Chain A
């Protein structure tokens, strides 16, 4: 018998683990359906702790739209913390879903959404706890088909040994297409078993099945060729693109957790895609073109979502929310509707632009004005030209003057360290920018108690971006530059005390770099690190650089590749990249040209308001930019 709840066995263990509520389910809008009545059963995982995984929009959207189908059942599972993992192993309890507490191994499909490559070891833990062989090649007809999605799935080669398939791009239509294929295959009596199903999935073009491709290597370690090894399997697998966001207004019934999570709000994606062209930004490159959700749909989703959840915060999400063609009307309309209620609105995207301050003022009309965040990303003008972040220092100063002048007390600035062509001076320039921000803020506000927080992330070159060929900066240099920046801030007698500096050491970025641009040989290092105890690698208290270095040493012994080879080595145009057979729509020649433009400090304009620059996505994917203005109004709406 399959699909039987393990809760009776789990419950006695829960009093001895941290935050047991995260394992019990029972959230508002959670769904439990009859197991036997379902033709196709999905277990969906976000491979991190519940508090991070539950709010994930991707999983919530797929969970809801799959469960809307009468004969489809979808349940959720998250990574269990090591305290419960140990108890589950001791008591023989498998990885379970939080909805029905059913064993994950009993489902037809096991879908995992990767926002970050640092979740790969958590996939291995979940597979192993579920009793699913970690190696895809050892699975039988008894095991679920393991499918990866999310941004990291645009180069799933490092986890090719552990997954059966990957979906590139938007998941809404893809999961339904996969469901239809599985339903039909099961109805026919599962012809040719697991292999037969995988072949149907691969030939449909909806998913990439790594096992149906052979990779050969050159003596120096580079890839020679990636070729399909089955008839009918496409040479290249293209990403999925949802073209009308108004037809997919999910989540409609968002999950409201009992446990505390990292985002406690109702989020509406106001558009998908971005063509600003920031060269470091994988999300902006792989989600093209821009597709706006209309102002009326946004209004309806917010009204229904707030009423259905009781959340007191609404987030208007996208890669650059102020770029929505009708954002001013959206902001004003929502501020009008919710004025005098306890619902607050936030715009968690961060372009350096005085218009953003105006929007933030509108959204905080009757609320507290604490912090505003902007992302200049590069400390010097030169650096910003390299990354195509088209903002001058004067733009930034004007923007923060407006912010402090309108009563905002704190400005947060995001930067990166380790960008291509970066020098020591490009990083120390951040200190000068921050000082000017404080000086300007004190003048604009007439107060001395204003603050500027500078957060710095380590740059990791990502597949499908112009920086996919770049050498990642070694962590010693990153750490040295950040230490010099800190010294420069501390030395500043006038402004240093008003500047907060936040950064982490550069070592986790190196591992993320290998997992991002790695090929199938990296799988051995992942497996080794996991066997040595790697879990929750995105959490600094669990991450061990030494463990990963040792795992790479063992996995890559007697081979031409190494941790450095995958990270700090610059690639040539002629090199076959591990993800070249995975089609994000971006033309490789255009990407290379943009990489050369980066080195030449040449900027490129957004194609929404200047001519097309031929990145290749629209013609190859049959898509087009969808932006307003629609001229319609957010209303009629009434507050709840």
Chain B
């Protein structure tokens, strides 16, 4: 007979909260695993009454929705937590924001409707801003137009299972030029915004840049910087420039 933890089972989840947070500045270099560890420690320090799974290695009830890749910044990351005591969402927001390092900022916390759709079902696409330092705005714009004119563009990406091909064009819902001065302290440069549908395998900002290089012979003298601006459902209206996604927190 294996040993079992003594005492009563952990208290059940009585409330689910959805959290909108960011990954800004130098913290864009943290991986999803790094974030999860930092978030769980911040939960621990914050005193938020998180619920735990049962067993010898109890895990806090946190579910993450599609994290941005390592190196990509994000203004729109989402996760859901299960609490063992009902709490005021705004107090939880303040407590988590105070416990997380600057750059991992908690923007908004809302209670999930008990019978509403799952968080993952409220997210089907991302809007990415891709800055191409050292590339002139017109050059970037032309490369985007050439790419969007194609029906298909397969790019190869190294994965742990070896090289894998994805169709970068198939995932693009819309694309338009962004503000070349979107970062105040940097030199103006080509800045593109694209809405990317979440497919399997996922098309990431890196793949879009590879596609731009392939479609228009674009050369990028410095490392591109990607920032996720929004996630959510695609609007029912037909794709258009500067389209908005439906906020998953409603």
Contact = CB atoms under 8 A, between A and B. Distances in A.
Interface string A1-31: 0000001000111111001110111111000
A258 B52 contact: no
Nearest to A256: B41
B57 A16 contact: no
A11 B27 CA distance: 11
B70 A20 contact: yes
B34 interface: yes
Contact of B101 (A15, A19, A23, A28): A28
Interface string B48-86: 000010001110000000000011000000000000000
A189 interface: no
Given A26-B101, A28-B101, A258-B38, A14 B29 contact: yes
Nearest to A307: B45
A273 to B, nearest CB: 32
B71 A24 contact: no
A312 B56 CA distance: 13
B217 interface: no
Interface in B14-43: 26-27, 29-31, 33-35, 37-38, 40-43
Given A20-B71, A368-B57, A15 B31 contact: no
A26 to B, nearest CB: 6
B26 to A, nearest CB: 4
B184 interface: no
B56 A15 contact: no
Contact of B52 (A20, A21, A342, A368): A342
B236 interface: no
Contacts of B30: 21, 258-259
B41 A311 contact: yes
Given A311-B41, A367-B56, A368-B56, A260 B223 contact: no
B58 A342 contact: yes
A258 B27 contact: yes
A366 B5 CA distance: 6
A407 interface: yes
A263 to B, nearest CB: 13
Q: Which of A14, A23, A309 has the most CB of B within 10 A?
A: A14
Contacts of A631: none
Nearest to A22: B29
A369 interface: yes
B237 interface: no
Nearest to B102: A26
A310 interface: yes
A600 interface: no
A24 B29 contact: yes
Interface residues of B, number: 34
B7 A366 contact: yes
Interface string A405-437: 001000000000000000000000000000000
Contacts of B26: 7, 11, 24-26
A199 interface: no
B22 to A, nearest CB: 14
A15 B223 contact: yes
A340 interface: yes
Contacts of A311: 41
A368 B55 CA distance: 9
A308 interface: yes
Given A21-B34, A260-B33, A368-B56, A26 B27 contact: yes
A369 B2 CA distance: 10
Interface string B81-111: 0000000000000000001011100000000
Contact of A260 (B29, B37, B45, B52): B37
A285 to B, nearest CB: 38
Given A7-B26, A24-B27, A26-B26, A260 B34 contact: yes
Contacts of A19: 31
Given A26-B26, A407-B3, A258 B56 contact: no
Nearest to A259: B34
A310 B222 contact: no
B181 interface: no
B175 interface: no
A145 B165 CA distance: 53
Nearest to B185: A8
A374 B211 CA distance: 57
B71 A15 contact: yes
Contacts of A28: 41, 101
A12 B35 CA distance: 21
A308 B57 CA distance: 22
A19 B70 CA distance: 9
B126 to A, nearest CB: 19
Interface in A342-388: 342, 366-369
A5 to B, nearest CB: 11
Interface in B198-237: 222-223
B160 to A, nearest CB: 14
Nearest to A340: B7
A483 to B, nearest CB: 35
Given A21-B29, A258-B30, A310 B6 contact: no
Interface string A254-275: 0010111000100000000000
A569 to B, nearest CB: 48
Contacts of A340: 7
Nearest to A367: B56
A308 B29 CA distance: 24
A21 B30 CA distance: 5
B45 to A, nearest CB: 4
B193 to A, nearest CB: 20
Given A21-B34, A258-B27, A309 B41 contact: yes
B133 interface: yes
B164 interface: no
Given A20-B29, A24-B26, A342-B58, A308 B133 contact: no
B58 A310 contact: no
A260 B37 CA distance: 8
Contact of A310 (B31, B34, B44, B103): B44
Nearest to B99: A310
Nearest to A312: B44
Contacts of B47: 640
Contacts of B102: 26
Given A258-B30, A366-B7, A369-B3, A310 B42 contact: yes
Q: Which of B34, B44, B133 has the most CB of A within 10 A?
A: B44
A14 B70 CA distance: 11
Contacts of B31: 19, 21
A12 B223 contact: yes
A366 B71 CA distance: 40
Given A12-B222, A25-B26, A310 B41 contact: yes
Contacts of B29: 14, 20-21, 23-24
Given A7-B26, A312-B44, 13 more contacts: A12-B133, A19-B31, A21-B31, A21-B70, A24-B26, A28-B101, A258-B38, A260-B37, A308-B45, A310-B43, A366-B5, A407-B3, A640-B47
Q: Which 6 A-B pairs have the closest CB atoms?
A: A310-B41, A310-B44, A368-B56, A310-B45, A20-B29, A24-B26
22 contacts: A11-B26, A12-B133, A12-B223, A13-B223, A14-B29, A14-B223, A15-B71, A21-B70, A24-B29, A26-B101, A26-B103, A256-B41, A258-B34, A258-B35, A258-B37, A259-B34, A260-B33, A264-B37, A309-B45, A310-B42, A310-B44, A407-B3
Interface of A: 7, 11-16, 19-21, 23-28, 256, 258-260, 264, 307-312, 340, 342, 366-369, 407, 640
